Amino acid sequence: MSGTILENLSGRKLSILVGSLLLCQVLCFLLGGLYAPVPAGHTNVLGSLCRENHARQNDTSFFLYSRGEGACTQVTREEVEQDSMKLANQIVHVFQMPLPRDSRVLDYSRWQQNLIGVLQVEFGYDSSSELREPPKELQLTIDMRLAYRNKGDPDHAWKLYAHGVEHRYLDCVAAHIGASETLYTCDMIPLFELGALHHSFYLLNLRFPLDTPKQMNLQFGHMHDLTLTAIHQNGGFTHVWLMLKTFLFPFVVGIMVWFWRRVHLLQRSPALLEYMLLYLGGALTFLNLPLEYLSLSIEMPYMLLLSDIRQGIFYAMLLSFWLVFAGEHMLIQDSPNKSTIRSRYWKHLSAVVVGCISLFVFDISERGVQLRNPFYSIWTTPLGAKVAMSFILLAGVSAAVYFLFLCYMISKVFKNIGDKRTSLPSMSQARRLHYEGLIYRFKFLMLATLLCAALTVTGFIMGQMTEGQWKWNEDVEIQLTSAFLTGVYGMWNIYIFALLILYAPSHKQWPTMHHSDETTQSNENIVASAASEEIEFSNLPSDSNPSEISSLTSFTRKVAFE
Amino acid sequence: MDISYIFVISLMLALCSSQAESKQKSGRGRGSMWWGIAKVGEPNNMSPITTGIMYMDPAIHSTLRRKQRRLVRDNPGVLGALVKGANLAISECQHQFRNRRWNCSTRNFLRGKNLFGKIVDRGCRETGFIYAITSAAVTHSIARACSEGTIESCTCDYSHQSRSPQANHQAGSVAGVRDWEWGGCSDNIGFGFKFSREFVDTGERGRNLREKMNLHNNEAGRAHVQAEMRQECKCHGMSGSCTVKTCWMRLANFRVIGDNLKARFDGATRVQVSNSLRQSANAVAVVSPNAAGSNSGGSNGLLQSAVSVYEDEERMLNDHMPDLLLDNTHLSSKIHHPNMPSPNSLPMAGARARNGRRQGRKHNRYHFQLNPHNPEHKPPGSKDIVYLEPSPSFCEKNLRHGILGTHGRQCNETSLGVDGCGLMCCGRGYRRDEVVVVERCACTFHWCCEVKCKLCRTKKVIYTCL
């Protein structure tokens, strides 16, 4: 890559540009912090007990529900306690979402995007029978039926969404040890994940079949309270998120078109870094594409998976870009031919590839399978959890390898910069300016990247530590989690936006590049002096047209003067 | 249409007249009469659907104060939860005290009398426990009913989502639904606390020592519910990572709360009437007229401080409903919201203006410090149960004090504790009986849907006090 806009921009213009971009960044942060609600809301639903009609037990089109016309007659806890068999095999646990509030029937909106259900189990043993300590990883078999109903449907018109008999493993601790009964409280278990919250009401019917021949659920005394926590994305957050995406999308597309036109105006073929920048912009555009609008009218259960993939592609691209960028600024031109990913960087990028593939496999085996069966989770079985953990571990190791390697590359670049610094004064002017440009570009990106990475990390840690909220004063409070999400999203957009502008090739014909007569005059001198050094230039990778180079160097010198 | 109108009107008239009737009664007796709603709906098994019938139960009018009736009327479904809560308190109390001389017995027929009997006329430990466990049970039961969906008026608490753009210029139910869509609703537990304070503490103005004892024990019960809440979190960011995390509070089983309260019962603090009205060092000497305990009948004045400063109020409320209660990521804001604990957040039609005026006093009545009887003891903490006078022995039947005695109670021959026959029967001796108990045993289950059991006969020896 020859001279870029970054080198040729005057200090004042650069500061204006950086300042306005920083302003945009602050706006993104405030948009999430002040305007958006928390990213996710939740509803805690306590299971109601209904007595089963055995004739319809296997009928998956029949549902028991606790509110509305035709609701089941509920069994009270006392009745269960009094029954000598604790009504075994007769009870259905019913969860109807969402709950009514403020004397109104609430319904889910499609803006709420997705629904994740986790279950908390409490059960008790009769201490009289035997005093047993429940083993860890207690297997629980649950017959789960998820149904939906839309606004305007009659109260009984529940339709089956998914049905499954699943195993979950429970880790429990004794909450109360008494003479008559020992109570156990268990860690929450994942129950279901819906990628599309397409319907208004949801209903979950849970049964815990007791079966002696199959040894099913026998080690449980009897169930006490079951609490389902249904987590959804908040509609307001979706609004803000989509707003941000719709706003950023055209800007990034526009700047990409501008960038590519500029590259094509040159008389040389695009350099590797220019390709990388374009790819990066493409990945960002894919991420920015507001596909979520479609989910408001079409049921898209694959939305969760898709957004994971989109983010994954973007981050993979970003990591690759940093590596290539560091590699291209080694200041050693070992091969005269143009470098490509395949010829130089495939080894460097293997860590990124391995990490991404392992995360992708993990995602497919979790969220991919959930497309078929929303009750599935890879974490529920001990083996699955181990497999999932190993994929994540692999991704973590490759991330560590990547960062070590990146650090190594960057330190090497800095070492080269130091070496070149000492020999700079002895070089010819054009060559010196070329190197100075490279060093400047590299340092600028390093600074910007470090800033962005540091902001991301501190934002993440702050979000984790302060439990998501931060109070400015009495009236103003900042939703840290939302601010973190929109801030980081906006930040990477702005980062890439800035890269596309600043690292676009510049040339003197460009009318926006103001330069005084004085510099134009001095150009000619340099053209003359540069001609004598043509041999040296031929080694430079992007050397194509001596006059173009010389004009660029004049700009760099102008920067140096200012 | 017209008929139903007439019906409604006549119903309202009936309500009014019975309100007036019970007005004189409500102030009488020291024990909280509302416990009596445990008997509402009996002997039929009540279910949430039949709440309409329950409102007509005369037991309501004889047991509830006017404000309590209004709360019940304005929050459909709350009555069922209160009935459940009262029964929960009774069964838990009886469970905790099954091995003691006083076994938390209740009357079967109220007839305008107190559910637990005359024992609550005395300010003894047992009374303190009753107050604490009933207030805890109401809190627990209301919060549960909210998450079960049986109370439709549980608040959504939008206060922190008021930035929602649509909410400002759209009235009524549409705004509420928009708010839910925009920022979701909060946990249910906060509503349970607020309601319990409104409902249970009605009538306990904190004017004399006994009322202060009741208030303190009510608060202690709620504090135990709250202390046993546990936070649970779920990560659901990109690929399930913790970039997005949602947290909520989980209520403990009431048995655990009962255990804790029983432990506090065993270590309860006796408090006393101090000789002089002492003010705490930082207290303002002149107490504002609407502050707690500053009434003219301050002969019992045990108050150390009765300062009513707005900041104090907020701090105190934070003490009682601390961050733990509502520290879900989007909930914690409310605790700092000055209006949050106000009674106005409960739907009570027509009660706003009055409450607005009384608000200062209502909150400050919780702000007092009781002195221990033995000055060397520590003053009671917010979770301690306090009492005023030593308990009677409960050995002999004494109807004047509402004591049933331990005649005919079962005891444990081998135990040396209170449940042992020596102590339980107060040295009167005991009888040994052998009974054959028939139980189901060796059950086999088949899915679906049968359960086969054998009947086992076991011999048991029962000891009964004479």
The C-alpha atoms of residue B308 and residue B288 are separated, in whole angstroms, by: 7
DSSP symbol at B158: -
Helix (H) or strand (E) holding A295: helix A292-295
- Reported as half-sphere exposure (CB side, CA atoms, 13 A), residue A504 has a value of 24
| Domain limits, chain A | 5-39+236-561, 41-233
CB contact under 8 A, B332 and A111: no
Report the residue from B181, B444, B448 with minimal CB separation from A57.
B448
The C-alpha atoms of residue A435 and residue A331 are separated, in whole angstroms, by: 8
CB contact under 8 A, A178 and B255: yes
- What tokens does B320 get? 């009682």
Report the residue from A102, A214, A307 with minimal CB separation from B176.
A102
CB contact under 8 A, B152 and A104: yes
Task: State the fold for domain A5-39+236-561.
Answer: Rhopdopsin 7-helix transmembrane proteins (1.20.1070)
The C-alpha atoms of residue A165 and residue A182 are separated, in whole angstroms, by: 28
DSSP symbol at B247: E
Q: Is B42 on the interface with A (CB under 8 A)?
A: no
Angle CA(A29)–CA(A33)–CA(A34) in degrees, nearest 5?
A: 115
8 Å CB contact between A3 and A547 = no
Cα A37 to chain centroid distance, Å, stands at: 18
Q: Which is it for strands B230-235 and B245-250: parallel, antiparallel or unpaired?
A: antiparallel
The C-alpha atoms of residue B363 and residue B378 are separated, in whole angstroms, by: 25
Residue B358, pLDDT score: 44
- What tokens does B375 get? 């000055």
Residue A289 CB neighbours (<10 A): 14
Q: Is the peptide bond before B43 cis (omega within 30 degrees of 0)?
A: yes
CB contact under 8 A, B445 and A211: yes
Rg (CA), chain B: 25
CB contact under 8 A, B239 and A485: no
The C-alpha atoms of residue B451 and residue B449 are separated, in whole angstroms, by: 7
8 Å CB contact between A47 and A95 = yes
Report the residue from B154, B259, B446 with minimal CB separation from A101.
B154
Helices (H) and strands (E) in chain A, counts: 15, 13
The C-alpha atoms of residue A437 and residue A553 are separated, in whole angstroms, by: 9
The C-alpha atoms of residue A552 and residue B377 are separated, in whole angstroms, by: 86
Which of B:223-242 have CB within 8 Å of A? 232, 234, 236, 238-240, 242
Which of A65, A103, A111, A392 to substitute to test the interface with B, most B CBs within 10 Å? A103
Q: Which positions in chain B touch A308 (Cβ < 8 Å)?
A: 238-239
Report the residue from B177, B183, B451 with minimal CB separation from A236.
B183
Q: Which positions in chain B touch A225 (Cβ < 8 Å)?
A: 144, 253
Non-local (6+) Cβ contacts of B213 within 8 A are B123, B128, B131, B271, B370, B386, B387, B388
The C-alpha atoms of residue B98 and residue B119 are separated, in whole angstroms, by: 17
Nearest-CA distance from A230 to chain B in Å?
10
CB contact under 8 A, B253 and A239: no
CB contact under 8 A, B180 and A176: no
Nearest-CA distance from A189 to chain B in Å?
10
Helix (H) or strand (E) holding A172: strand A172-177
Nearest-CA distance from A547 to chain B in Å?
50
CB contact under 8 A, A210 and B242: no
Cα A309 to chain centroid distance, Å, stands at: 9
8 Å CB contact between A54 and A92 = no
The candidate with the shortest Cα–Cα distance to A550, out of A532, A560, A510, is A532
The C-alpha atoms of residue A562 and residue B10 are separated, in whole angstroms, by: 92
Cα B177 to chain centroid distance, Å, stands at: 31
Q: Is B439 on the interface with A (CB under 8 A)?
A: yes
Which of B243, B311, B346 to substitute to test the interface with A, most A CBs within 10 Å? B243
| pLDDT (tens place) for every residue of chain B, 466 residues total | 444 554 444 444 444 444 433 333 333 445 577 887 777 765 444 444 444 555 556 666 677 888 888 888 888 888 888 888 988 999 999 999 888 888 888 877 666 667 887 788 888 888 999 999 999 999 999 999 998 888 888 887 654 444 444 444 444 456 667 788 888 887 778 888 888 988 888 877 777 888 888 889 999 999 999 898 888 888 888 888 888 888 888 888 899 999 999 999 998 888 876 544 443 333 333 333 333 333 333 333 333 333 333 333 333 333 344 333 333 333 333 333 333 333 334 444 333 334 444 444 445 677 778 888 888 888 888 889 999 888 888 888 877 777 888 888 888 888 888 888 888 888 888 888 898 988 877 778 887 777 888 888 888 888 888 8
CB contact under 8 A, A485 and B153: no
CB contact under 8 A, B155 and A102: yes
Report the residue from B49, B253, B330 with minimal CB separation from A176.
B253
Count interface pairs A-B at CB distance under 8 A.
Answer: 221
Report the residue from B177, B232, B448 with minimal CB separation from A209.
B448
Give φ, ψ of B254 to 5 degrees.
-65, -25
Which residues are registered as beta bridge partners of A104? Answer: A101
The C-alpha atoms of residue A267 and residue B292 are separated, in whole angstroms, by: 87
Question: How far is CA B387 from each of CA A206, B122, B267, B331, B381, rounded to the nearest angstrom?
Answer: 46, 9, 11, 36, 13
Give the burial class of A395: count Cβ atoms within 10 A of its Cβ; 0-12 exposed, 13-18 middle, 19 or more buried. Answer: buried
**Nearest Cα residue in chain B from A461:** B243
Question: How far is CA A460 from each of CA A318, A405, B231, rounded to the nearest angstrom?
Answer: 19, 24, 21
- Dihedral over Cα of B28, B32, B37, B43: its sign: negative
CB contact under 8 A, A227 and B446: no
The C-alpha atoms of residue A405 and residue A414 are separated, in whole angstroms, by: 14
CB contact under 8 A, A90 and B449: yes
CB contact under 8 A, B48 and A74: yes
The candidate with the shortest Cα–Cα distance to B104, out of B391, B369, B332, is B391
Helices B66-74 and B78-96: crossing angle in degrees, nearest 10, is 120
CB contact under 8 A, A99 and B47: no
Instruction: Return the SS3 of B309.
Output: coil
8 Å CB contact between A375 and A119 = no
In this structure, what is the dihedral angle of CA atoms A190, A195, A201, A207, given to the nearest 10 degrees?
A: -30
Residue B332 CB neighbours (<10 A): 21
Which of B:76-95 have CB within 8 Å of A? 76, 84, 87, 91
pTM of the model: 0.79
Rg (CA), chain A: 31
ipTM at complex level: 0.81
Give φ, ψ of A98 to 5 degrees.
-80, 170
> Which domains, from first to last, does chain B contain?
2-162+179-387 (no CATH), 407-465 (3.30.2460.20)
The C-alpha atoms of residue A47 and residue B355 are separated, in whole angstroms, by: 35
For the residues of A451-506, what is the DSSP string, one character each? HHHHHHHHHHHHHHHTTTEEESSSS-EEEHHHHHHHHHHHHHHHHHHHHHHHTSB-
Which residues are registered as beta bridge partners of A96? Answer: A203
The candidate with the shortest Cα–Cα distance to B261, out of B135, B398, B392, is B135
Q: Is B146 on the interface with A (CB under 8 A)?
A: yes
Q: Which residue type, as a one-letter code, is found at position A342?
A: R
- What tokens does B455 get? 């009947």
Helices (H) and strands (E) in chain B, counts: 15, 7
Helix (H) or strand (E) holding B245: strand B245-250
8 Å CB contact between A233 and A303 = no
The candidate with the shortest Cα–Cα distance to B242, out of A481, A334, A250, is A481
Residue B419 CB neighbours (<10 A): 17
Angle CA(B4)–CA(B5)–CA(B8) in degrees, nearest 5?
A: 85
Residue A560, pLDDT score: 40
Q: Which positions in chain A touch B314 (Cβ < 8 Å)?
A: none
- What tokens does A225 get? 């309270």
Question: How far is CA A75 from each of CA A47, A93, A390, B445, rounded to the nearest angstrom?
Answer: 11, 10, 45, 21
Instruction: Return the SS3 of A212.
Output: coil
Question: How far is CA A196 from each of CA A84, A104, A244, rounded to the nearest angstrom?
Answer: 43, 24, 21
Report the residue from A100, A176, A477 with minimal CB separation from B259.
A176
- What tokens does A315 get? 């981050």
The candidate with the shortest Cα–Cα distance to B420, out of B428, B410, B412, is B412
**Nearest Cα residue in chain B from A368:** B239
Give φ, ψ of A121 to 5 degrees.
-115, 140
Question: How far is CA B400 from each of CA A219, B118, B122, B409, B466, rounded to the nearest angstrom?
Answer: 51, 8, 12, 20, 21
| pLDDT (tens place) for every residue of chain A, 562 residues total | 457 788 777 888 889 999 999 999 999 999 988 888 888 989 999 999 998 877 777 788 889 998 888 888 888 888 888 877 777 788 899 999 888 888 888 899 999 989 999 999 988 877 655 555 656 678 889 999 999 999 999 988 999 999 999 988 888 888 888 777 788 888 889 999 999 999 999 999 999 888 888 888 877 777 888 999 999 999 999 999 999 999 999 999 999 999 999 888 888 888 888 899 999 999 999 999 999 999 999 999 999 899 999 999 999 999 999 888 888 887 665 555 566 666 678 888 888 999 999 999 999 998 999 999 999 988 888 888 899 999 989 999 999 999 999 999 889 888 888 888 888 788 777 778 778 887 887 888 888 888 888 888 887 777 666 655 555 555 667 788 888 899 999 999 999 999 999 888 876 443 443 444 434 334 444 433 433 333 333 334 443 343 343 334 344 444 444 3
The candidate with the shortest Cα–Cα distance to B421, out of B403, B408, B437, is B408
- What tokens does A4 get? 């870029």
The C-alpha atoms of residue B34 and residue B40 are separated, in whole angstroms, by: 11
